[in-house]
Amino acid sequence: MTSVITLLTDYGLEDGFVAACHGVIIGIAPQARIIDVAHLVHEGDVRRGAAILAQTLPYLPAGVHVAAVDPAMGGNRRLIAIEAGGRVFLGPDNGVLSWAVHAAGGAEAAYELANEELFLTPVSPTFPGRDIFAPVAAHLCAGRRTSDVGPRIDVLGLVSLPAPTSRMRDGVVEGEVLSVDRHGNVQLSITGADLAALNVRPGDTLGVWLGRRQLVVPYRETFATVPPGDLVAFTDSAGLVALAVNSGDASERLGLPPGAHVRLSPQPHKAPS
């Protein structure tokens, strides 16, 4: 097993939670190289955590990938390990791992974290990240097999988030809000390639429909190409179309939560039915 362990949590950075996880890992596997993917995921925002992990995964070395994001963390939800594409993913069985596992080629095997020999003792009922995920990741890094963590479970029974989708219809591409980042930028499931298929290029103008509300938005290469306070669409570093306000919060201005339906088309274009 590789020496790389990645951590994605909703623990924040104001307290010592992340440092405690680091300390547990190094205490068991001093050779471990830890990569902090993100710790400022909004508390319990499983969808945002799933998007960050899946979009970051292509740039991460193979290793043990921990995602501790769960509104019910510390409850009765089972904790799992999934093998996929030469990697091991650890997290709650709530779908936070599902998009990254799919990006890695799909689950090959899954196990419930039940071997208490690999846990810290005593286990806090409110901090599985420190007492279960961190030590299990460290033991895997130190050479334990994934099958050592507990009984094998059916991969078909794992919780998966609905896959983000987009579709073309009558010169319009339809999608949804995939996630909202800490700046209020609204990332859509619509890709830059989808817009290119509609012959939309940076420098053009988009029609944006949010329910029955229509906006006309410039499509540019970056958000910095419009004046501060202006709304803009661009293709982000993940290849997905995002709506942003230069020096502002697009999510707040547009009232777009994750999962909201959005339609885009070249301008001019009559409103879709």
Q: Which of 164-173, 204-213, 235-244, 260-269 bottoms out in mean pLDDT, i.e. has the lowest?
A: 260-269
Instruction: Indicate whether this model's pTM tops 0.85.
Output: yes
Taking every pair of Cα atoms in the chain, the longest distance, rounded to a whole number of angstroms, is 64
Q: What residue ranges define each of the domains in the chain, with the CATH number in brackets? A: 4-157 (3.40.50.10790), 167-266 (2.40.30.90)
Whether residue 191 has pLDDT greater than 80: yes
**Cα–Cα distance for residue pair 44/46, rounded to 1 Å:** 6
**Alpha-carbon separation of residue 27 from 2, 23, 62, 80, 127 (angstroms):** 17, 6, 21, 22, 18
Could you tell me how far CA 90 lies from the centroid of its own chain? 14
8 A C-beta contact, residue 179 and residue 47: yes
User: Which tokens in the block code for residue 179?
Assistant: 């996630």
Q: Which of 68-77, 97-106, 121-130, 241-250 bottoms out in mean pLDDT, i.e. has the lowest?
A: 68-77
**Res. 74 pLDDT band, cuts 50 70 90:** low
Averaged pLDDT for residues 195-224:
93
Taking only the tens place, the pLDDT of each residue in 126-172 is: 999 999 999 999 999 999 999 999 999 999 999 999 988 889 988 99
**Cα–Cα distance for residue pair 101/51, rounded to 1 Å:** 11
Taking only the tens place, the pLDDT of each residue in 30-62 is: 999 999 999 999 899 999 999 999 999 999 999
**Cα–Cα distance for residue pair 90/123, rounded to 1 Å:** 17
Calculate what percentage of the chain has a pLDDT beyond 90.
86
Quote the DSSP letter at residue 12: -
Mean pLDDT in the chain? 94
**Res. 252 pLDDT band, cuts 50 70 90:** very high
> Mutual orientation of helices 17-28 and 134-141 as an angle, nearest 10°?
30
For 54, the enclosing helix (H) or strand (E) is helix 46-56
8 A C-beta contact, residue 166 and residue 190: yes
